Amino acid sequence: MRISKKEIDDIKQSNDLVTIIQSKGIQLKKKGQSYVGLCPFHNEKTPSFIVDPMKQLWNCFGCPPDSKGSTGGDVIGFIAKYDNINFREAIEKLKTNTSSLNNTEIENLKLKKPTPKDQDTPPFNLIPKQQKLLNRVVELYHTTFIKNEQGLKYLIEKRKINDTSIFKYFKIGFANGSLLEIIPDKGKIIDSLKDLGILNDREHEHFFGSVIFPIYDLFGNIINIYGRKIKDQENNHLYLPGPRRGIFNWQAAKLYNEIILTESIIDSLSLFNAGFKNTIPCYGINGVISDHLTVLQKYKVKSVYLCFDGDDAGKKATKAIAPMLADLNIKVYPIMLPCGQDINSFFSLVANPKNEFKELMIKANLAIDTTTDKETIKKTAKKAAKEKKNSYQKGKYGFEVTLSGREYEIIGISRTPTKLKATVKGIKRDMGKKRFHVDTIDFYSSKSRTVFISALCDFLGETEDVISDDINRIMEHIEEYGQEAAEDKNGSEKKQMTETEQKEALDFLKNPNIFDEILADFETVGCTGDDTNKLLCYLAAISRKMEDPLSVMIQSRSAAGKSFLQDAVLAFMPDEDYVKYTRLTDQSLFYKGRDSLVHKILAIEELDGMDGAIYSIRSIQSSKKITIAYTGKDPVTGAMSTEENTVDGPIMVFITTTQVDIDGETASRFIFISLDESRQMTKRILEKQREKHTMEGLINKINSEQIIKKHRCANNLLKNLCVINPYSKLLTFTSKSLRARRDHMKYLNLILVIAFLFQYQREVKKMRLNGKEIEYITVELADIEKANEIANEVLGMSMEELSSPSKRLLQLIHEMIMAECRKKKINSKEYQFTRRQIREYTGWSDFQIRTHIKQLIDLEYIHMIKGKWGKEYIYEINYTPENKNSSLIGQIDIEELKEKAKKAKLSY
């Protein structure tokens, strides 16, 4: 009977080649992606037998070719050749896996106590399709964990594990029962999921309602899963069927000489969350398996802190495990938790758990030392004397540390989930002179540490054990330095202001004429004129603290003072509340920290420097967040996977530009302002510049420092209050333009931010909603009146079709034509003119005129009569002041609003 191709393929898929070869007693060692061993078909001393687990093929470079010219084959070919049987007999033998093996072969597959010979051999193997499916399931569970709040709440709120980077690092997941809905092909995959133990016989998820923790072997393969039910029930702890295998966070043994062995994964995560990265969990009180012993031996761990639950079962387990570790020449330090507590409850309940746990570790050391002989006590005393020579001094860019008299300087610290890099300088004092050995190393790379330790041993003349201990302690300092730096940054961003500074800031915020004071302060710091523009920019900068900030674009010619105004406004804001860039690349914002831009000002010197980043800026303005999906390497498995990074808003965007034509998508999100470019304004600026070199200028410069400090303190005193506008329904706005839909929101938000600035002059009211207390202030008619004054000018200009510089040029051209027509007594439509005449009358450069006259031609305010390259251009005007668009935006008159408010019985 002929064997079908499908039957042959099924045989190959259901029999893992590496497992079958190992069952014959053939030792295989991992080498890259393949396995190598001594060939069973000829005598050799150097391995030439290669097995590819992905392709499920074997090959021997030392065997002569067979009749078909081959020196290898698949699993069927191997069995046929090894057992000296034909093809059909080999298939019959492989139809079932273990049933086809004899007793000796089955024993070869059983889990045994690790020995140095088999430490490099994977303890468990899945066929490639199973491994791929298991990886995919873990990815799906991880995605569910991120999107579903149940698992997050369990770990953050109930277990107090709040370092969210841990969730991504360990690929933590959540099973909510949606796995079958995601699977595209339900047929064979369901059978495979049953084989793995993901689904039970009734096709229900085995881990339903559990937080999922993937467990890996030493080769980065997922070989087990631990599930913890988020709602306590009879069986809270779940694993995949079969014997316990794999180690959670086994990399700790590779990185540290000291390991904290815990009772559970949740306990280890609690330690990891607190900064103790050198932790490995067991499978419960009786859960030290051969994999634990293998990993501790393989990476030569010197000491283990045993920290089980503070109950009788935990104490018994500690006594039972300690001798097993002692047999491996590992020093054991039992940590005694308070009665009835586990590590997770300890870190949740104790006031200062990190320091308290360190104290428990010290006590564990002392408890062991008191049981040792006098010689050991002497050594301990000597070691303690050396410890007195230790010191730690933190600097701006790193720290200096002295360990038993050995000096090190560490700078340039950078950290990712998989790398911890720093530049380390070992210092040796020789005859009063300093000598150095400097290198940049990755502390999370065993190879990098080993090379550096060897070099330092030669340089300092110390043993490898001594320097290795130094490097481990330096690594701990670096990890703590990163946390301290983050805390210092958060703590120093808003420095404690003095009583005098606070009083000055409060006096400013309580000043009824606060806008006059703002304008006077701008004059003192050297920013003159353009009063409306300065107030608008200041208010927009304040609006960053609100949910819908205003964004501003200053559009004027070169040298008009755009950047000067931008810098003057930013100087009044706290340094930590804005970021300023000269240029942004297309995706630069996508890779910032999630909260790095929340309620901040994003200032860009020139629109031209934004390239493709304008898309991300528009998105974060509208959606208040941006998200990018990218391909990255999994920190545990090394496999490529899709990662996401989200940056939250809201933000206030502050940009300057000389561009005339700006696309509508971008323009509609900004309030446009244009600076006064008149000769009178230029004269005022020149006078202000000359004033800087006088005694009055020196006094203003000194006073400017105090003024800037006052505004920064005032900004920090502004509270996050809600603002309610009781007059909102009575307001009006033009509806002639589609753009009014966005500009109307700018107008309403401008009213809110004016009221927000006056919060210390308003009654703060409170209300309770859904069990939460909300503080708010209300808008007054004076706020609306001021908003109307500002909006009529700036929003009216932004809704016109001409840019402000082009409009100004048109007005100047019209003035020139009317003057000439009066002289010549002709109609303005009969008058023709050239760019040279415009230059001579306006004083504008040829580049500026050519830039802005193009918009006037495109919008048919000016007609070009004739002209081409190399010839004179002649124009006619098609404009009179009577047919220009009104700058009013249709807002209600304040007196009319008062009357409507009376009728509506609104108090003001």
Listing DSSP states for 680-729 in one string gives HHHHHHHHHHHHTTSHHHHHHHHHHHHHHHHHHHHHHH----EEE-TTGG
Contacts of 816 by beta carbon, 8 Å cutoff, 6+ apart: 833, 837, 838, 841, 842
Residue type, position 190, single letter: I
Distance in angstroms (rounded) separating the CA atoms of residues 116 and 690? 83
Q: Report the sign of the C-alpha dihedral through residues 275, 276, 282, 286, in that order.
A: negative
Residues of the chain above pLDDT 90, percent: 25
Q: What is the model's pTM?
A: 0.51
Structure tokens at 574: 């706290």
Given a cut of 50, is residue 111 above it in pLDDT? no
Return the pLDDT at 482.
62
Is there a contact between 427 and 407 (Cβ–Cβ < 8 Å)? yes
Return the pLDDT at 21.
86
407-456 tens-digit pLDDT: 999 998 887 666 788 999 999 877 667 888 899 988 888 788 888 998 89
Distance in angstroms (rounded) separating the CA atoms of residues 401 and 633? 34
Return the pLDDT at 373.
44
Residue 246 has a CB neighbour count (10 Å cut-off) of 23
Structure tokens at 528: 């003159």
Burial of 601 (0-12, 13-18, 19+ CB in 10 A): buried
- Quickly state the pLDDT bin for 279 (edges 50, 70, 90): very high
Mean pLDDT of the region 105-109:
41
Contacts of 864 by beta carbon, 8 Å cutoff, 6+ apart: 857, 873, 874, 875
In DSSP notation, 1-68 reads -PPPHHHHHHHHHHS-HHHHHHHTT---EEETTEEEE--TTS--SS--EEEETTTTEEEESSSPP-TT
Return the pLDDT at 512.
94
Return the pLDDT at 680.
86
666-721 tens-digit pLDDT: 888 888 888 888 788 889 999 989 998 999 989 988 999 999 999 999 999 999 89
Residue 12 has a CB neighbour count (10 Å cut-off) of 17
Burial of 492 (0-12, 13-18, 19+ CB in 10 A): exposed
Which alpha helices (DSSP H) does 758-878 contain, by range? 781-798, 804-824, 835-842, 846-858
- Quickly state the pLDDT bin for 609 (edges 50, 70, 90): low
Mean pLDDT of the region 334-352:
87
Contacts of 764 by beta carbon, 8 Å cutoff, 6+ apart: 721, 775, 776, 777
Return the pLDDT at 1.
60
Return the pLDDT at 97.
46
Mean pLDDT of the region 557-577:
90
Distance in angstroms (rounded) separating the CA atoms of residues 808 and 827? 22
Is there a contact between 411 and 474 (Cβ–Cβ < 8 Å)? no
Structure tokens at 733: 């706005």
- Quickly state the pLDDT bin for 115 (edges 50, 70, 90): very low
38-96 tens-digit pLDDT: 998 888 888 888 988 778 888 988 888 777 777 888 988 888 888 888 888 888 887 75
Distance in angstroms (rounded) separating the CA atoms of residues 293 and 324? 9
For the chain, how far is it from start to end, CA to CA, in angstroms? 99
Residue type, position 484, single letter: E
Is there a contact between 336 and 305 (Cβ–Cβ < 8 Å)? no
Residue type, position 898, single letter: K
- Quickly state the pLDDT bin for 574 (edges 50, 70, 90): very high
H or E element: which one contains 92?
helix 87-94
Measuring CA to CA, which residue among 302, 169, 126, 23 is closest to residue 632?
Answer: 169
Distance in angstroms (rounded) separating the CA atoms of residues 896 and 903? 11
Is there a contact between 13 and 98 (Cβ–Cβ < 8 Å)? no
301-327 tens-digit pLDDT: 999 999 998 888 888 888 888 888 888
Distance in angstroms (rounded) separating the CA atoms of residues 455 and 441? 12
H or E element: which one contains 650?
none
Return the pLDDT at 884.
43
Residues of the chain above pLDDT 70, percent: 87
Measuring CA to CA, which residue among 64, 63, 91 is closest to residue 79?
Answer: 91
**b/e 534-551 (16+ beta carbons within 10 angstroms → b):** bbbbbbbbbbbbbeebbb
- Quickly state the pLDDT bin for 125 (edges 50, 70, 90): low
Is there a contact between 273 and 291 (Cβ–Cβ < 8 Å)? no
- Quickly state the pLDDT bin for 130 (edges 50, 70, 90): confident
Mean pLDDT of the region 221-244:
85
Helix (H, G, I), strand (E, B) or coil at 458: helix
**Contacts from 616-621 at CB under 8 Å and sequence distance 24+?**
616/586, 616/587, 616/589, 616/590, 617/589, 617/653, 618/665, 618/666, 618/669, 620/589, 620/647, 620/649, 620/650, 620/651, 621/551, 621/649, 621/650, 621/651, 621/653, 621/669
The CA R_g of the chain, rounded to the nearest whole Å, is 37
Q: Residue 777 forms beta bridges with which residues? A: 723
236-252 tens-digit pLDDT: 889 988 778 889 999 89
Is there a contact between 626 and 598 (Cβ–Cβ < 8 Å)? no
**DSSP β-ladder status, 57-60 and 29-31:** unpaired
Measuring CA to CA, which residue among 727, 792, 728, 717 is closest to residue 761?
Answer: 717
Return the pLDDT at 534.
93
Burial of 767 (0-12, 13-18, 19+ CB in 10 A): exposed
Mean pLDDT of the region 271-275:
91
Given a cut of 90, is residue 755 above it in pLDDT? yes
Helix (H, G, I), strand (E, B) or coil at 625: strand
In DSSP notation, 398-411 reads EEEEEETTEEEEEE
801-813 tens-digit pLDDT: 667 778 888 888 8
Per-residue DSSP letter, 893: P
Mean pLDDT of the region 155-182:
89
| Mean residue pLDDT across the chain | 82
502-556 tens-digit pLDDT: 999 999 999 999 999 999 999 999 998 889 999 999 999 999 999 999 999 988 8
- Quickly state the pLDDT bin for 869 (edges 50, 70, 90): low
Q: Which residue has the higher pLDDT, 766 or 851?
A: 766
Measuring CA to CA, which residue among 883, 882, 881, 878 is closest to residue 830?
Answer: 878
Phi-psi region of 599 (alpha: psi -120 to 50; beta: other; left: phi over 0): left
Given a cut of 50, is residue 100 above it in pLDDT? no
Residue type, position 550, single letter: L
In DSSP notation, 264-322 reads SHHHHHHHHHTT---EEE-SSTT---HHHHHHHHHTT--EEEEE--SSHHHHHHHHHHH
Return the pLDDT at 450.
87
Backbone angles phi, psi at 14, to 5 degrees: -90, 0
Given a cut of 60, is residue 560 above it in pLDDT? yes
Helices and strands (H and E) in the chain: how many: 33, 31
**DSSP β-ladder status, 862-866 and 57-60:** unpaired
Is there a contact between 560 and 677 (Cβ–Cβ < 8 Å)? yes
Contacts of 454 by beta carbon, 8 Å cutoff, 6+ apart: 464
- Quickly state the pLDDT bin for 119 (edges 50, 70, 90): very low
Distance in angstroms (rounded) separating the CA atoms of residues 310 and 312? 7
Place of tokens 């710091």: 525
881-907 tens-digit pLDDT: 644 444 346 778 888 888 888 887 765
Distance in angstroms (rounded) separating the CA atoms of residues 278 and 475? 11
Return the pLDDT at 753.
95
Return the pLDDT at 388.
46
Distance in angstroms (rounded) separating the CA atoms of residues 58 and 52? 6
